[in-house]
Each structure stands twice: as structure tokens, then as C-alpha cells.
Structure 1
Amino acid sequence: MNTTLWIAQAVLAAIFGIAGVWKSIPSHRTLALQLPWVEDFSMSVVRFIAVTELAAAFGLILPAATGIAPILTPLAATGLVIVMIGAIITHTRRKEPGAVVFNAVLLLAAAFVAWGRFGPHAL
């Protein structure tokens, strides 16, 4: 089970690390061409989401790997659950079912990591 949790943490960290960097670099207009939901938010909100995703990506791996404040790993996963709830609400409102399904899968993976690292497989 510990190996499965590490795999889930690594996959989530990679996905959210890439997403965070991707949302951090381009202008609002350029990003809106790639991610239409960006039109619904100010650039400061989009950048906040990017920073949140990057922090979670680091938080999923570094505390658990170094043994320094390992409680941050399940907290990072819990933060991603909250971010994914917001994403699901946004994509549902925009009638984007594919994005809703993708975000639901990410939510479940993050919830699995939070459950495992808070509970029976805490580091």
C-alpha cells in the first residue's frame, strides 16, 4: 500500500507541478486560448491557483521524502481535494463534462493520498 501511495503522490505531483508552471508563465489572453475557463477569472486568481498547485506538488513529495514535517504531505493532498472541488464546480457550470471527469479522478487520487497518509500509512 505504501508503494501505491508513493506512486499516486508522484503522479499527482507531476500533474500539478506541470499545471502550476503552465498557469504561471503565459499572459491571461494566451492562457485563455489554451484554457477557456481562465476567461471567468482574473489573472491574480489564476496565478493563485498556479501557486497552490505548485505548493501542493512540492508538498506531496518533499516532506514525506525528507521526513521533515511529514504531516504536510496529507495536508497538501487535502488542499488538492479542495482545489479540485472548485475545478469541478467551475467546469460543471461551464458545461465541460470531460474536464469534470478528469478533475473528479484527480480529486479521488488526492483523497486517497490524504486518507492513506493521515491514517493507516502515515509517514
Structure 2
Amino acid sequence: METLLYLFASSVIAIALLALLINWLHPNTHQGPITIETFKAALLDHDQQQAPGTLCLSTDAQQSLALLGKGPKLAIVRRVGDRVALRVLSITELTTRQAGSGQTKVSIHDFTWPSFQVEGKSAEQLAKWQTKFKEASHA
């Protein structure tokens, strides 16, 4: 019984030390919400010359989307650690659905980008864009 208790205690200590080591080697440097400056820098880093319009920020503030120029192309920027990832696509490639409590879940038709949620003015803006470009594509 003492051997099991000793093994359990040493395992707990080893796991705690490993967690501290990982946190020390790779600290979680939360950079705050994605701003228009972050968005513009991501576009320039990926050779996108079009200026972003109004930003629609996700509920966790780690993703943001904006129309490029007058549309229908839009860009999504997602924070990944201390870097950002960019995806440029047509607004018709987005799928939105109500996620409850005033939130809208946004996803892309393929599996390469994680879904995210928007709410409030961001959800309203996204709905306006989708309506505008859906009508334009059917005209």
C-alpha cells in the first residue's frame, strides 16, 4: 500500500513539474482582441492589398472578419498564439446559424477553419453582408 501511495504522489509531482515546465517554455501570451491594425498587418503579410472595412469580432475576440473592398470577398483573421492566421474567401462560402442567446455561429463549408460565434452588432453586420451579396448573386 505504501508503494502505491509513493507512486501516486511521485506521479502527481512529476505531472505538476511537467505542466510548469511547459508553461515556462511556451507561455500563453494572450495578445488581446484583434484590432483593425492587427487585421491590416495580417493582410499585408499575406500580400492582400485590399483595405478591410468594418470588423466583425467574434465573441472570444480571437477571430475577426471584414469585407475586402466592396465585397463579396472577405477575410477572416484568427489569433493562434502570438501569431495570426488569415483566410480570404467569398461571403457565400460562410454558413451561419443561430446558436442561442443572441449569438450566431459562423462556419466555413470545409473543415479547414474552426467555427466561431459572433453576437450583437457583429452578427447584424454579417447578416447584412450575406443578404446583400446573396441578392446580388441571384440578380
Question: So what's the TM-score if we normalise by structure 1?
Answer: 0.30
Q: Which has the higher helix share?
A: 1
Greater relative contact order, per chain length (Cα 8 Å cut-off, separation 6+): 1
Structure number with the higher strand fraction is: 2
Computing the radius of gyration from Cα coordinates, the structure with the larger value is 2
